[in-house]
Structure 1
Amino acid sequence: MQIDISKEVNFIWDIADRLRGAYKSDKYKDVIIPMVILRRFECALSDTKSKVIEIFSNNKNTPTQLLCKSSGYDFYNTSKFDLKELLNDQNHIKANLLSYIDGFSDNVKEILENLEFSKQIEKMHNENCLYGIIQSFSTLDLDPKTVPNHKMGYIFEDLIRRFSENAQAGDHYTGRDIVKLMVDILIFNSDISSDNCVVSVLDQACGTGGMLSVANEAIKEQNPSANVYLYGQEINGESYAICKADMLIKGQSAKNIRKTDTLKSDEFPDEKFHFIIENPPFGVPWGGKKAKDGVEESIKEQSQNGSRYLSKLPAKNDSQLLFMLSALDKIRDDGKIAIIQNGSPLFSGDTLSGESQIRRYLLERDYIDSIIALPTELFYNTGIATYIWILCKQKSENRRGKVALIDASKEFIKLRKAMGNKRNELSKENIEKIFKLYADFEENELCKIFNNREFIYKEYTIKQPMQRSYTINDETIENAISQIVDINRLNELEDKIRNDEGLNKKERESIEKLRKAKNLADKVQIILTNHKSDKVFLSLDEFSNYAASFLDIKKENGKKDTTTINKIIKSLSKIDKNAQIQRDKDGIIYDDATKDSEIININASIDEYMKSEVLPHLPLAKAFDEGKIGAEIPFTRYFYKYQSPKSTDEIKLEFKNLEKEAIELESGLFDE
């Protein structure tokens, strides 16, 4: 059931209006987020603050542990100030606010430092709105007794959602409807029922901690005695600060929330987790010029030493599969992972690419349990198709060696009002239906179950016999010259010399070779031009004998340059099915220029495939096995339903209706 947070959220957004003029609307969050956090901490500490101040006043060296014990939380404040008290001295409100903040324990101060709140205090002071903001927030009730943690989570969620339209590309705030589905799947058939059991949950891209919070609530609901430990890594300072603040209020160890780039470092090297839940950024580069400093080097190093990543890495423009590999490295053997990805990890990359080989690795080790296609337009700042990957290392017996593909793309309800790109959401009934599809693990219209090897394939190279005709004309002469010398590169280097630009050692060596090649090309061009004709040779032997009579090209040692002559002869040819099939002592010679590729399932017979799919069209083609094995998961292909095209009458009717609408619109414009 949705929690009613309208009172608190509307109150906060009324406060935001006080920033108008001093701040642009997209910068309101720089004040609103830290003030909400500050007020939440203040309300939480209100009952015990006088006791903490008394203890601290008696002994300024009181241990942190004792002050925390007295406050009832893993944080405290020793200042005499609170927001209401600050209002009593308007002339010194900035200095007193900074003094108040300095009275917090270090973990709270670090949160506010990550939000760069001191800069906003200075700005609000200079813009004469600091007093009004403090006055407004001093009356906001965020006491945990009246606004419990789960309700506060919804408030944070709404604030972040409203700011998410300005989120960086690739960052996608995950609504609680999606997270609820993921958590239900994670804890299905998991052993978390014993008294006081210990359960650890990790989110490697934890953002503001929403996924961790929902996981915590679901586990505690199923087993109130469970000891749940939440861990997170987050690179964005603002999101990290919100998450850490939320964890402190929940009584979680704030030390388990780390501000770092997950791809560069594993902040919990000695930990393995029961559950991992995350929505890493889509399409964010890990390498190349767009990557953050040191990321590419760190990932390559980890790949080489085998710490988290495979030797085959995905394309540098997308880090999603790296998060997946990292999650597998951090999960317990009996744990489970739920991770959101866009469509790219399903099929991107060619056979020997890093993406393909990572998929192959996951399938061959039986790590992929299920992949669930979600509806589009579920996220606030993207409408693209997304998928939940469920991964684990120890599947139940009935799931071993199998992968379930679940099409939940039509399971949603429309929002009454769009919120950014989010126009759809998952209702309770939608979540229950999708969960049932996962839990039942039965074949039906929306759930297809396959053997792992269904998605592993072998790529064969198909070539046709060498059949070429030979002639000497302007076109083939130009081709022959281009095969001998790269005239554009030579001109480029010559220009550098003419412009007094120095050549490096490699360029000096290159220009000497190119000049020699140019001399040879000039000689060949004269020879071939003198022998131009319309005659077409359909036999290599016949043309070679003919060309040998005038292609007198020798090496520096005076011997005949057979390699260059053969290269020139081939450049004077083109594929011609009327030509003679070329052979050598081993039989038919196959032409690399006709090379094509065919992809077939790893279990299929290439001979049978050739008979049915290739040879009827290319009777003399041959398949070559080059040992290329890859994997892809063409999800949508398995759920494709043929729809017959609209009839001509239907199309005509649509055009007539559109024409009628256009006329009505035009008429309305002129009437005005």
Structure 2
Amino acid sequence: MSGLNISNFIWGIADDVLRDVYVRGKYRDVILPMTVIRRLDAILEPKKEAVLARKAFLDENGVRDQDQPLKQVAGEAFYNISPFTLRDLTAKTRQQQLKADFTAYLDGFSPNVQDILTKFKFRNQIDTLVEADALGPLIDKFLHPSVNLSPYPVKDEDGRVRVPGLDNHSMGTIFEELIRRFNEDNNEEAGEHFTPRDVIELMANLIFLPVAERIESGTYLIYDAACGTGGMLTVAEEALTKLAADHGKEISTHLFGQEVNAETYAISKADLLLKGEGAEAERIQHGSTLSSDAFPSLEFDFMLSNPPYGKSWKTDLERMGGKKDLKDPRFVIQHGGDAEFSLVTRSSDGQLMFLANKLAKMKRSTPLGSRIAEVHNGSSLFTGDAGSGESNIRRWVIENDWLEAIVALPEGIFYNTGIATYVWVLSNRKADERRGLVQLIDATACSRPLRRNLGKKNCEMGPDDIREVSDVFLSQANLPEPAAAGEVRRVRTKVLPNASFGYWKVVVERPLRLAARLDDASLRSLRRAAVAAKDEALADLVDAVAPTLGAGPHLDINAVLATIRTAAAAKDESLTAKREKLLLAVLGRRDPKAAPVIRKQSKPKPGTEPEQEALHGRYQQKLGGRTVVVEYEPDPELRDTEQVPFLEEGGIEAFIRREVLPHAEDAWVDEDRTEIGYEISFTRHFHQPKPLRDLAAIEQDILALEREAADLLRQVVSAA
């Protein structure tokens, strides 16, 4: 029976045995762990007696650490020390005895298999199966003589092979096929843990092909920080191994993965065991990558992930001490002169945190360094203002010149979402021709439709599609538009300098303009405020000068303050900043015709240009016969921000002169609040505006509508 037929057979067991016991979405809770158990059982069956004998010997000699000796005699990375095989359990007729023996059989597996069974929560299913009298039939089905899940062939009495054995690769393929079918059958969960193989193959091309000629014989570490069912790791391993062999190199690979979901962690670990990669299975860890990093001291050659996007990581953030107290060196770093440069994103979406985690694990002392491919949705490109965690991650990546390319994938290529998705490709050993540049690739049209939708997945990238995108990536050529009229280009690309994505976020201020009122109502308000502030002397000062100044409104509140300041000095008092703030708040009224409120004045610095200084809120004025520099109090209600691209000719000043001052001549930039941000806009670089319709055609449409309206009106009148 072929691998596909075996998959179909196992798939059919669910309908044959579990139909009236479980709802369809729960079949996987039994079938997946039972497939693992039967494969392990079939491998261990010929060595059963030897394992039991070694177990007895170890017990007799008081050996406590028995794990490695038992693995050695089993010849595998796992073993079972119960007196049973699955075949021994088929003769049991009493359900309670079968339950006890089957439980003992499960308890006999080695700790690594126990971990898988625990994460599958398979023991929770035993009572349900026994009560429905389904456990015995389930075991019988998996032992059906026409299906051989053993690596050893079944022979007849004459020694001829009746049913061939199943090698580890074929068994892994069968298991992957079951996982895929269960995921497709349960679409609401599929995308969280299952990345389509076509996407993974493209990602593998993007990180391996650029260095194909530079891969040497040796050992390479591959890492997935959100490994799900492990498909990304195994496909990447296959691709790297084949690529090395094609270039005459002998390599070994070690797989490392972490997964927070218990069941998918169990599937990933079980898949590697079924493929005979027991050592690799031990490197798959359960837990949250963000708050409980399983590999804090390791660095990896190649890293691939499809982290969860749009998913809260608030629980992780709380475990790490909260945003203010988080000190994890993966997420709080030194950059741009900031000793505590924060890469911590919003708690509502932690996808870019997974990228930061990978960047912290890059190899920095090897010729190849590290290469990364990671899937994100569109928000990672632009969400987050300058200074936010998201923008800071983009800034850190681009200013270190690690970003090679971003590929826009076809919409509808994932199982549980139809939104736009992108593959980020990064390296800390960029080729010379890529330095200082980022390649944007629009591959949204590079796919073929599926004959039948799989959840929200309505298309796939075939081998030709993957090759086309890979070739465009390797060529690093600008292909923004079709070269000739009528030509259809499925893949478009632009290569842009790093600075194309950076900008300054500047705060634009305008002066606070207040007119002072000293009428009776204002003086009474000031008295109440002064009493509340325990400073009645301030109200006395204002009452003393009010008759001289008059009720107002006074359009120069600075002159009013100067008069009150003089009166205070005469009484050996001072008009402190706190007192001035109270006077402005109570006596001042916004008036666009009033003079700006002066916050500070100082001597002009030698060599400064008044016009340039004015752009930053420092104005030269003549006061009392001398030139002073005044700084105005900004009006929060008139405050605005602008994004100035790094590539703006003339920089911030030119932008302000062109875009701001013609509309607000008294505006200035608060240079102390300028921040650096980065965002990546595919829309801006690849947008194709639709051509405007011909005026004659529009005119014809309007005339046709008028005729239609006239006909309808005549019909209404005739009917009346």
TM-score with structure 2 length normalisation?
0.74
Paired with 2:524 and 2:684, the residues of 1 have a C-alpha distance of 46
Quick one: which of 256, 277, 281 aligns to 2:308? 281
Indicate conservation of the 8 Å contact 1:470/1:573, yes or no. yes
Q: Aligned runs of 1:89-238 on 2, under 5 Å? A: 89-91=92-94, 92-139=97-144, 140-143=147-150, 145-146=165-166, 147-166=170-189, 171-190=192-211, 197-224=218-245, 225-238=250-263
Quote the offset at 1:179 in angstroms. Answer: 0.5
Tell me the alpha carbon deviations over residues 329-357 of structure 1, each in whole angstroms, 9 at most, x when there is no partner.
22223220111122222222221222222
Indicate conservation of the 8 Å contact 1:53/1:78, yes or no. no
Paired with 2:392 and 2:76, the residues of 1 have a C-alpha distance of 48
Describe the shift of the 1:389–1:175 C-alpha distance in structure 2 as closer, same or farther (beyond 3 A): same
Q: Partner residue of 1:619? A: 665
Quick one: which of 469, 476, 479 aligns to 1:441? 476
Describe the shift of the 1:410–1:478 C-alpha distance in structure 2 as closer, same or farther (beyond 3 A): farther
Quote the offset at 1:276 in angstroms. Answer: 0.6
Q: Partner residue of 2:635? A: 592
Q: Partner residue of 1:328? A: 359
Describe the shift of the 1:77–1:55 C-alpha distance in structure 2 as closer, same or farther (beyond 3 A): closer
State yes or no: 1:432 paired with 2:478: no
Q: Aligned runs of 1:9-48 on 2, under 5 Å? A: 9=8, 11-16=10-15, 18-43=17-42, 45=43
Report which stretch shifted further, 224-233 or 205-214: 224-233
State yes or no: 1:350 paired with 2:349: no
Paired with 1:578 and 1:298, the residues of 2 have a C-alpha distance of 44
Describe the shift of the 1:107–1:465 C-alpha distance in structure 2 as closer, same or farther (beyond 3 A): closer
Indicate conservation of the 8 Å contact 2:331/2:353, yes or no. no
Paired with 1:84 and 1:10, the residues of 2 have a C-alpha distance of 19
SS at match of 2:309: coil
State yes or no: 1:249 paired with 2:293: no
Paired with 1:464 and 1:30, the residues of 2 have a C-alpha distance of 65
Report which stretch shifted further, 605-614 or 470-479: 470-479
1:350 aligned partner, one-letter code: D
Indicate conservation of the 8 Å contact 1:204/1:232, yes or no. yes
Quote the offset at 1:388 in angstroms. Answer: 1.0
Q: Partner residue of 1:86? A: 89
Q: Pairwise CA RMSD of aligned residues?
A: 4.3
State yes or no: 1:385 paired with 2:428: no
- Unaligned segments of structure 2, at least 5 residues: 59-65, 152-164, 481-491, 602-627, 706-720
1:589 aligned partner, one-letter code: Y
Paired with 2:583 and 2:38, the residues of 1 have a C-alpha distance of 82
1:592 aligned partner, one-letter code: D
Quote the offset at 1:304 in angstroms. Answer: 9.1
Describe the shift of the 1:481–1:367 C-alpha distance in structure 2 as closer, same or farther (beyond 3 A): farther
Tell me the alpha carbon deviations over residues 367-388 of structure 1, each in whole angstroms, 9 at most, x when there is no partner.
1111111122222222222211
Describe the shift of the 1:298–1:517 C-alpha distance in structure 2 as closer, same or farther (beyond 3 A): closer
Paired with 2:555 and 2:84, the residues of 1 have a C-alpha distance of 98
Quote the offset at 1:35 in angstroms. Answer: 1.4
Describe the shift of the 1:206–1:562 C-alpha distance in structure 2 as closer, same or farther (beyond 3 A): closer
Quote the offset at 1:281 in angstroms. Answer: 1.3
Indicate conservation of the 8 Å contact 1:415/1:425, yes or no. yes
Q: Partner residue of 1:638? A: 685
2:407 aligned partner, one-letter code: I
Paired with 2:406 and 2:334, the residues of 1 have a C-alpha distance of 23
Indicate conservation of the 8 Å contact 1:192/1:199, yes or no. no
Tell me the alpha carbon deviations over residues 286-308 of structure 1, each in whole angstroms, 9 at most, x when there is no partner.
34x68574575899232499689
Describe the shift of the 1:73–1:298 C-alpha distance in structure 2 as closer, same or farther (beyond 3 A): farther
Indicate conservation of the 8 Å contact 1:459/1:625, yes or no. no
Q: Which has the higher contact order (CA 8 A, sep 6+)?
A: 1
Quote the offset at 1:588 in angstroms. Answer: 6.2
Describe the shift of the 1:201–1:622 C-alpha distance in structure 2 as closer, same or farther (beyond 3 A): same
SS at match of 1:359: helix
Indicate conservation of the 8 Å contact 1:308/1:329, yes or no. no
Greater gyration radius: 2
Quote the offset at 1:210 in angstroms. Answer: 0.5
Indicate conservation of the 8 Å contact 1:405/1:448, yes or no. yes
Quote the offset at 1:651 in angstroms. Answer: 11
State yes or no: 1:462 paired with 2:508: yes
Q: Partner residue of 1:56? A: 52
Indicate conservation of the 8 Å contact 2:557/2:588, yes or no. no
Indicate conservation of the 8 Å contact 1:204/1:262, yes or no. yes
Q: Partner residue of 1:539? A: 556
Q: Partner residue of 1:374? A: 409
Indicate conservation of the 8 Å contact 2:519/2:551, yes or no. yes
Q: Partner residue of 2:77? A: 74
Tell me the alpha carbon deviations over residues 16-48 of structure 1, each in whole angstroms, 9 at most, x when there is no partner.
4633443333333222221122123234x0xx6
Equivalences, count: 611
State yes or no: 1:300 paired with 2:317: no
Paired with 1:437 and 1:4, the residues of 2 have a C-alpha distance of 36
Describe the shift of the 1:469–1:272 C-alpha distance in structure 2 as closer, same or farther (beyond 3 A): same
Indicate conservation of the 8 Å contact 1:403/1:450, yes or no. yes
Quote the offset at 1:12 in angstroms. Answer: 1.5
Describe the shift of the 1:25–1:444 C-alpha distance in structure 2 as closer, same or farther (beyond 3 A): same
Quote the offset at 1:66 in angstroms. Answer: 5.5
Quote the offset at 1:442 in angstroms. Answer: 1.1
Paired with 1:448 and 1:455, the residues of 2 have a C-alpha distance of 13
Tell me the alpha carbon deviations over residues 105-131 of structure 1, each in whole angstroms, 9 at most, x when there is no partner.
222122112212111112221233222
1:203 aligned partner, one-letter code: D
Quote the offset at 1:255 in angstroms. Answer: 1.7
State yes or no: 1:451 paired with 2:497: yes
Describe the shift of the 1:198–1:561 C-alpha distance in structure 2 as closer, same or farther (beyond 3 A): closer
Indicate conservation of the 8 Å contact 1:461/1:595, yes or no. yes
Tell me the alpha carbon deviations over residues 72-109 of structure 1, each in whole angstroms, 9 at most, x when there is no partner.
43223344534343221121221221222233222212
Paired with 2:254 and 2:201, the residues of 1 have a C-alpha distance of 18
Q: Partner residue of 1:402? A: 437
Indicate conservation of the 8 Å contact 1:340/1:389, yes or no. yes
Report which stretch shifted further, 144-153 or 333-342: 144-153
2:643 aligned partner, one-letter code: I
Paired with 1:86 and 1:308, the residues of 2 have a C-alpha distance of 62
Describe the shift of the 1:560–1:327 C-alpha distance in structure 2 as closer, same or farther (beyond 3 A): closer
Paired with 2:34 and 2:412, the residues of 1 have a C-alpha distance of 31
Paired with 2:254 and 2:142, the residues of 1 have a C-alpha distance of 32
Report which stretch shifted further, 588-597 or 353-362: 588-597
Describe the shift of the 1:444–1:343 C-alpha distance in structure 2 as closer, same or farther (beyond 3 A): same
Describe the shift of the 1:297–1:609 C-alpha distance in structure 2 as closer, same or farther (beyond 3 A): closer
Sequence identity (%): 30
Paired with 2:214 and 2:686, the residues of 1 have a C-alpha distance of 37
- Unaligned segments of structure 1, at least 5 residues: 486-514, 655-672
1:236 aligned partner, one-letter code: N
